[in-house]
A and B are shown apart, each in its own frame.
Chain A
Amino acid sequence: MNFDEGLKLAWQTAISNKLRTFLTTLGIVIGVMSVIGMMSIINALERHMINALSAVGGDIFWVQKYPAVQMGHLPREIRMRKDLKFKHAEAIRKRATYIEAVSGESATYGKQIKYRDEATNPNILVYGGDEHWAEVNGRYISEGRFFTSEEIHRKEYVIILGNDIVEKLFPFSYPIDEYIKINGIRFKVIGLIEPQGKLLGGSRDNLVTIPYTTFTKAFGQKRSIAIAVKARRGQMAEAMDQITGILRVARKVPPGQPNDFEVITQDSIMDTLKQFTGFIFIAAVVICGISLLVGGIGIMNIMLVAVTERTREIGIRKAVGAKKRHILNQFLTESIGICLFGGLIGVILGVVIGVLIAAALKLPPTIPLWSVFLGVGFSLMIGLIFGVYPAMKAARLNPIEALRYE
């Protein structure tokens, strides 16, 4: 008896008892489904993070008060840190030699921008930066110009608009030299930022930038700023060391004490993300493992029932010449077939879930092929491992006793 006849037989058995087959495969279905679903989410997150970071450029890093991502509570010594101020960015600009540019930035979220009778949603991100803001943030000016150090010095009300604001407020007119209002304060539009598209479902173009001096005047300086730094080509490490030293002096950190600020690189962001996705990965593996184990035990149970139910059939087959290996193969094929069936359903559901979640996060769907192979491979293995014992039991039956079984 060859494999596809065995599969045919397995299929007949499976459809002759649909509900039982369905319930038996549920564990496998859920296991495979969750691993593929989760893997596609992780995959999508990582790819988009990489895309987003590569848009910024490789020589850029940031200094901020708090860690980028912190799981659990912040320890007290981190919560007690002093704010980062524009004077710190100024100190870096004056003393650092390994850098090309530095820009402090302050930000406030949820502002509404008005132009004549039109208004944006109150979800605009307003940055206060200095003349190097665009450069260190990997942004380009597509129309007009960026503000100058004189404008910063004079605290002028000039503004650079992101593409979302342009589309909303100036669908048919040229925005440069027009005046818009934030919180009732008038700003003159002097430049437009080239659009970058979406990241993780959020737009990267619903922002505006004004001089940081103006920002402080208009919105106050209650929050800690972030400092973006562009290192000289190939001197990232030196720049990071140098800036750490400068900031420790400026913030009077005693020697031997840890830094009271965080230096964040793209690598460290990726590491944090990897830590996070690794966490999801482990969760996926655990869930998958448990469901597959449950599924495997279910398979074993159902196969033991099948062997008992079909004792007479086994006797008949042996009477007409089936050898041990024929019976073993028959039942193994059946358990593998059931698992494969469950695995395939799991793959289909997993892909559907991956696509749905990607759609919900507004990411293009990415189903890692290896997770599909992994899912199918695992279900094959479960069918094999948990099918062996029942199949051996069937193969070892004494033909006469099997024939007599009622």
Chain B
Amino acid sequence: MQTLINLKDIVKTYQIGTVEVQALRGVDILIHSNEYISIMGPSGSGKSTLMNIIGCLDTPTSGIYELEGELVHTMDDNKLAEVRNRKVGFVFQTFNLLPRATALHNVELPLIYSGISAAKRKVIAEDAIEKVGLTDRMHHRPSELSGGQRQRVAIARALVNNPSLILADEPTGNLDSTTGKEIMAIFDDLHNAGNTIILITHEKIVADHADRIVHILDGHIAEDIQVKNN
């Protein structure tokens, strides 16, 4: 198995005025390619902070982060943007789609920033939309789509650049349980197709889709269990 992510003693401290909030207090974790990991923990335990650091949206206050052999914690903003563009696909609880753009254009967005030509973009994006089963809705705007459909668009956008890992922060948090199941089925499919998936949730049923469950408590990894073997 190939090492994808190596976090060593990651600390993240937020400064609010004179008060320091320690969101992460020394996290060590090793993640391999094609793993399917759930991160669980109570609200405020630092799950999102960890995901943002793994996804290169944020940088740790201290510690070492290695992604596919590259040292992320030393990168500048431009390099981080490039890594996000090529190696990471995000799925958020609140979908985070551009409201005025069609589903297709939303999915094309990462490709725009990797400098792919308009014609090629369209083909690749349509392909990704097909994977999440939304071909008939690709010219609709987010406001014309249901919550589940919006999350499918977001998933298509996350995988359109063929990233090394897909990060999902409570992807079913804003969905009813039936729709949530449909979304989780898509993640299962993506994992079976060879993608590395890290998903944050506080629901046990959602977490159980993964092969490995990591529990976070108060900025620490409290538990890290391999529940299935693949």
Task: Determine whether B58 belongs to the interface, using a CB cutoff of 8 Å to chain A.
Answer: yes
What's the least CB distance linking B49 to chain A, in Å? Answer: 9
Residue of A nearest to B55 (CB): A319
| Residues of chain B lying within 8 A (CB to CB) of residue A312 | 96
B123 within 8 A of A: no
Minimum CB–CB distance for B106 against chain A, Å: 9
B100 touches A320 (CB 8 A): no
A316 — which chain B residues lie within 8 A by C-beta? 96-98, 109
Shortest CB–CB separation between residue A179 and chain B, in angstroms? Answer: 84
- Choose the segment among B75-83, B132-140, B170-178 that binds chain A (4+ C-beta atoms closer than 8 Å): B75-83
CA distance A403 to B97 in the complex (A): 11
- Please, which residue of chain A has its CB at the minimum distance from the CB of B109? A320
Q: What is the interface residue range for chain B against chain A?
A: 20 to 34
Flag if A323 contacts B82 (CB, 8 Å): yes
With A312-B96, A318-B81, A320-B110 in contact, do A400 and B157 touch (Cβ < 8 Å)? no
> Known contacts A1-B113, A403-B92; is A323 also within 8 Å of B78 by CB?
yes
Q: In this complex, which of B55, B58, B84, B161 has the most chain A Cβ atoms within 10 angstroms of its Cβ?
A: B84
Compute how far the CA of A125 lies from the CA of B142 in the bound complex, rounded to whole angstroms: 78
* B100 touching A12, Cβ below 8 Å: yes
Contact A320 B82 (CB under 8 A): no
Given known A-B contacts A16-B100, A313-B98, A400-B52, A319 and B90 have beta carbons under 8 A apart: yes
CA distance A399 to B109 in the complex (A): 16
Chain A CB within 8 A of B220 CB:
no
For chain A, the count of residues having a C-beta within 8 Å of the partner chain is 20
| In contact, A403 and B96 (Cβ under 8 angstroms) | yes
Tell me, yes or no, whether B112 is within 8 Å of chain A by CB: yes
Other-chain contact of B113, A12, A315, A326 (Cβ < 8 Å) = A326
Interface presence of B86 (CB below 8 A): yes
- A321 at interface by CB-CB < 8 Å: yes
- Closest Cβ–Cβ distance, residue A271 to chain B (whole Å): 59
- 8 A-B pairs within 8 Å (CB atoms) are namely A1-B112, A1-B113, A16-B100, A319-B55, A320-B84, A320-B85, A320-B90, A320-B109
A residues lining the B interface (CB < 8 Å): 1, 5, 12, 16, 312-313, 315-324, 326, 399-400, 403
User: Which B residues contact A (CB, under 8 angstroms)?
Assistant: 52, 55, 57-58, 77-78, 81-82, 84-86, 90, 92, 96-98, 100, 109-110, 112-114, 118, 157, 161
